[in-house]
Structure 1
Amino acid sequence: MTAHVHPAAAAPAARAPHPLRTETLRGSTPWAAVALLVALGWALAATAAQWQGSWGATTGRLSTAAAAIGVPFALAAGAWRGGRERRRRMTDLRASSPRTPLAQFLTAALPLACVLAGAYLVVVAGALLACAPYVSAGGPVPAVFAGDALSVAACAVLGQVAGRVLPWRAAPPVLAVAGYVLAGVGTGSPSGPAALAPASLRLTGDDGLPVWWCPLVSALFTAGLAAAAVLARSARRRGTALLPLTASLAAAALLLHTGDGRVRDNPLAHRQVCDGSTTPHVCVNATRPDLLPEAVRVLSGVTARLQGVQNVPVRFEDLWRRPRADEVELPMLTPLGWWSVRGRVLDPRGYAWQAALNLVQVRPECGRTPDAGRVRAVDGAVLRWLAPRSVWRDDRERSVRSARERGDAGAAAGFRAEDRAYARLAALGDDERRAWLGRYFATVRECSPDGSGVPSL
């Protein structure tokens, strides 16, 4: 006689989802990842003008975001997750589970740590893609982002340990404030305790390059503390916590010994690329060679008026040093967000005026010479000729009006003298003007006792 088996009994039992999958996709974990992703993305997008176009500035901004937003958020989210069992009164149920306390803790802690680190890396990928079209020198340093992501993950684990040890509802905000304080400490001198703050590497531009292993050692310090705390809290043999603690202390000693050496000079920052077709030549720092055509274009009005003029400086230089005797300083194109954004000069007329001002402003102080008023009038006339600028004209009109309202006869007379000098300079023929400008630039770095060296107009 054949036995009949019910179809439902014959079907294989459905496999239960893995606990790690459940912890990752349910509860507060995915929402924490989304919240961190939004917070980091908003912070980066709001300051894009200050980093988009520079690998160094982008790296520094991402590391700062990890320290100021990622670390406090991870500590707070971990503390909230760590106090979950006591809030839900599941302590006894957990104790009766066949899994060891360490396995239970890791099942709850690792998903949150991984998704927060993943959220940070997603923001990193987006920032690098946004920066790539506007840079032309250097490159990103992946070890920095890996170290920051590991630090965020380790802080999430530390937060969960704190949440289990101190299951207070006030623990998450307190830890968030502590993490923010750590970020503030990390902005101090890198040779002191600030070197131990998570994600403490600070770059402000392309002048420095991070030593690739330092962010990983910094992450090892934080991860070692987290592993030691987990083993001391949940392992059967708590003495095993000494191993990661030793690694953490060794990493701390290395970081403190390295100090300022965590960032080295960028060789490109001490070089420049130049366009020799103009007078003066236009040079930009070798960290941003893509800005050279833009600088040449913006300064074309100034350089065209100086074509064929003798005694002008050889070049506009763009190095972090004082200009030499035959050089004049180019208005700073970096850091980003001041004059340039995404490879373009924000205010071309203002930039050209600042460059012309640098040509004239190198004259020593002549305020005590008998002929100081005439010298100032001549300097002002040359500046107006090299770079006419509507905004400057508006400022000058306001100054003239203010002098009249104050009854300042001396200032009003100085403005009238400058107007007369400018009219005479503009009325000269091209050859005559070039010759006069040659005599003028021969004296621009000098101030004779009576001011007689400066040619008159």
Structure 2
Amino acid sequence: MTDTLTPPRESAAPPRTSVVRTELRRGVGPWTGAAVAVTLLVTMYGKAPGWQGRWTDATDMLHVATGMLAGPLALAAGCWQGGRDRRRGTLELLRSVPRGRLRRQLLAVAPSALWPVAGQLCAAAVCLLAGVWPYVSGGRPYLELVAADAVALASLGTLGHLAGQVVPWRLTAPLLAVVGYVGLGIGAYSPTSVRWLSPAAEHSFAWDKPLWWYAPASAAWTGGLGLAALVAYAARPARLRLLAVVPLALALTAAGAILRLPEHGPWRPDPEAARLVCDGGSPQVCLTSVDRALLPDVSRALAPLNERLRGLPGAPTRWVGGPTGALPGDVGLPGADQDVARGRLVHPERYANSAAQWLFSDTCRPGDFTGPDAERTSLVNLAVVEWLAPAPPGYGADTTGAQMYIARLKAMSPAEQRAYLTRYLAADTCRPEEVPIP
């Protein structure tokens, strides 16, 4: 009986997923993702009172922080990662691997492109789910803009990686971060529509919504540039480099559409977000739909002020917050961003004092509010505001000079106070001689 010799089995090729996983663990990629997440979370935490009550504010803050801080970080980390193989002399070893050049380059770029995106998406998820969702009144998060920011971050990481492979100088990475920060900042604050090409352009109105095509166009613009540079660098033979024209043409087409936007960019008024929600008081307090959770707090804060104004000729019929056009008798409410935290009005006295100031904030023409009575009238105005809605300690203007008028107002009977306030509301505060003295 003879033994049958069994030929040894050929070792199976490693799965493609394990190759990608191995590449992702190389170099500074994981540290870059962690640095991006921490940078965004720390920045968002420092600005938390300004964005926790509205989806739009949170998305805008994430957008600016991603572009201005995470973008240069991705550039620098990608550059360092790209120069790592050249500095270690392993490029020739990588070229000996039986894979196409473009495939090898895609695997090499993966840590620089994907880890910053992972950090950004983790930070965005924490901010939106833990920082906004429990306190928001209405609307929706613009996740398409978050996705467009992720594409921009991946593109910046790719461009940085390629720069590191081309320029092996160790100081290239920090210099690229500085250049990226300055360039993104200049683009973001340009007075023209060029600003909307920047992945850090700022928008500040909570009652707007973006055009449906802006996020895809922005992703095509930034992603097309990174993909074109990658194909142009890695494609072999040389004739395949012409394929870079396709993503480049897509990027330029998207940029052309964005550049045709008007000065206010891709944002348009959202009627549902700006819809007024009012209480049943007199005067009424009306806030926009996105701020309707604040309505009970604002109504309570303005209740003492409304009690003094109720029924007086010239008093407001509604306090209105938001972008809506004013009707006769409407008085605008000040922005509550500095007095709101986690969807609650935390400084009601300060907010009521600001509302009283807005009630008497007439826009005077040049030449008005002059003459010998101007200084005295300023003190009277200050006294009326302080009497209607006293400012908390340490806030508001110095009322030392107005204490005499405040004392006179407090010493009046309720009927005398209402009579004086009626005369004060009827006067033109831009003309000092018409303002009655208590």
TM-score range, shorter chain: 0.7 to 0.9
Q: How does 1:41-440 map to 2 (within 5 A)?
A: 41-129=41-129, 130-189=131-190, 191-197=192-198, 199-236=199-236, 237-260=240-263, 261-268=265-272, 270-278=274-282, 280-320=283-323, 326-333=329-336, 336=337, 338-362=338-362, 368=371, 379=381, 382-389=384-391, 391=393, 399-400=400-401, 415-416=403-404, 418=405, 421-425=408-412, 428=413, 430=414, 432-433=415-416, 436-437=419-420, 439-440=422-423
CA distance in 2, matches of 1:378, 1:86: 74
The more displaced of 156-165 and 201-210 is 201-210
**RMSD (CA atoms):** 3.3
- Contact kept in structure 2, 1:191 and 1:258, CA below 8 Å: no
TM-score normalized by the length of structure 1: 0.82
1:219 and 1:343 map into 2 onto residues whose CA distance is 32
> Which protein has the larger Cα radius of gyration, Structure 1 or Structure 2?
1
CA distance in 2 between partners of 1:218 and 1:311 (Å): 50
Stretches of structure 1 lacking an aligned partner (at least 5 in a row): 401-413
Report the Cα distance in structure 2 between the residues aligned to 1:45 and 1:360, rounded to whole angstroms.
Answer: 35
Residues 97-156 of structure 1 show CA distances to partners (whole Å, capped at 9, x for unaligned) of: 221211111111124312221211111111111111221122111110111101111111
Q: CA deviation at 1:253?
A: 1.5
Unaligned segments of structure 2, at least 5 residues: none
- Deviation per CA, 1:4-46: give whole Å up to 9, x if none: 999xx99996874632111113432212211221112111112
1:12 & 1:167 partners in 2: Cα distance? Answer: 39
Deviations 1:183-228, CA, capped at 9 Å, x for gaps: 202322374443333x244222303322232122122122222222
| Partner of residue 408, structure 1 | none
How many percent identity over aligned positions?
34
Counterpart of 1:37 in structure 2 is 37
In the alignment, the residues of structure 2 paired with residue 40 and residue 307 of structure 1 have an alpha-carbon distance, to the nearest angstrom, of 47
Q: Is the 8 A contact 1:329 1:358 kept in 2?
A: yes
Classify 1:374/1:257 alpha carbon distance in 2 versus 1 (closer, same or farther; 3 Å): closer
Residues 96, 388 of structure 1: alpha-carbon distance in 2 compared, 3 angstrom cutoff: closer
Partner amino acid, structure 2, of 1:119: G
Q: What amino acid is aligned across from residue 290 of structure 1 in structure 2?
A: A
Call closer, same or farther: CA 1:284–1:309 in 2, change over 3 Å. same
Q: Is the 8 A contact 1:147 1:216 kept in 2?
A: yes
1:77 positional shift: 1.6
**Contact 1:54 1:205 (8 Å CA) reproduced:** no
Range moving further from structure 2, 245-254 or 434-443: 434-443
Q: 1:169–1:119: structure 2 CA closer, same or farther, 3 Å change rule?
A: same
Q: Whole-Å Cα distance in 1 between the matches of residues 288 and 24 of structure 2?
A: 47
The 1:29–1:440 alpha-carbon spacing in structure 2 relative to 1, beyond 3 Å, is same
TM-score, with normalisation over the residues of structure 2? Answer: 0.85
Q: Output the amino acid matched with 1:34.
A: A
